[in-house]
Amino acid sequence: MADEHPLFIDGIRFALDDVADISVVGTACDGLDALRLAVRLCPDVVLVDLALLEILDYLRRRCPAVRVLALGADDGEAGLLAALRAGACGYLLKGARPSEIAAAVRSVALGHMVFGRGLAPRLVARLTTPSAQSPFPGLTQREHEVLERLADGRSNAEIARELHLATKTVRNHVSNVLTKLDAPSRVDAALRARDAGLGSRPVLARV
């Protein structure tokens, strides 16, 4: 298990210690320790906090057989999609009952995908609802998400928190967006995005 909050790890470990067919073989409070433990211990499943998902790419290369179950407090679409895009085999909310977490660990270990209660319908809706053609087809999905938030005037740090990315990663995405749009600044890119109908925050004007 890997989570930045030791008390949360202790709570989950205490709950899983009473489950006969599950053994917690290691815990970590940051991504580097999680990678070291996973490589050394080769667990069947790694439970990882949504904020540490950036370790997954490296983890897959070093331990391809390890399956990952993401845990997060975000009950919206963003948390679920962030987990799936990172390569997790499932996503549970941190408020899940111990029995639900144990069942999810078993399912993920068997190769199944797992979603917490209430999350699966959102994924189905996302996949089955036709989307309008993007006004910026040259952007990747992630770059489009970043541009939408630029249109709302969010800072790199705010975007990083919403999309569960490192601030440096967001900075790189912003740079790519500006290059692809041939925009001289993030303000110009944001204005173009607003003109194309992106963004949800109201535009405030002083008269």
Report the number of secondary-structure helices (H) and strands (E) in the chain: 10, 4
The string of DSSP codes covering 89-113 is: SEEEETT--HHHHHHHHHHHHTT--
Structure tokens at 4: 């930045």
Burial of 101 (0-12, 13-18, 19+ CB in 10 A): buried
Domain ranges of the chain: 6-126, 141-195
pLDDT at residue 206, as a whole number: 33
CATH superfamily of 6-126: Response regulator (3.40.50.2300)
pLDDT in tens, 23-82: 999 999 998 999 999 999 999 999 999 888 888 888 888 888 999 999 988 776 777 878
Average pLDDT of the residues in 86-97? 88
* The listed CATH number (3.40.605.10, 1.10.287.1080, 2.40.390.10, 1.10.10.10) that belongs to domain 141-195: 1.10.10.10
Q: What is the pLDDT of residues 102-157, one digit of tens each?
A: 999 999 999 998 988 777 666 666 655 545 556 788 888 888 889 999 998 899 99
Crossing angle for the helix pair 77-86 and 120-128, to the nearest 10 degrees: 80
Lay out the sheet containing 67-72: strands in order across: 45-49, 67-72, 90-93, 114-115
Residue 43's CB is within 10 A of a number of other CB atoms, namely: 19
- Would you state the pLDDT for residue 120? 67
Give the pLDDT score at 135: 79
Q: How far is CA 38 from the centre of its chain?
A: 20
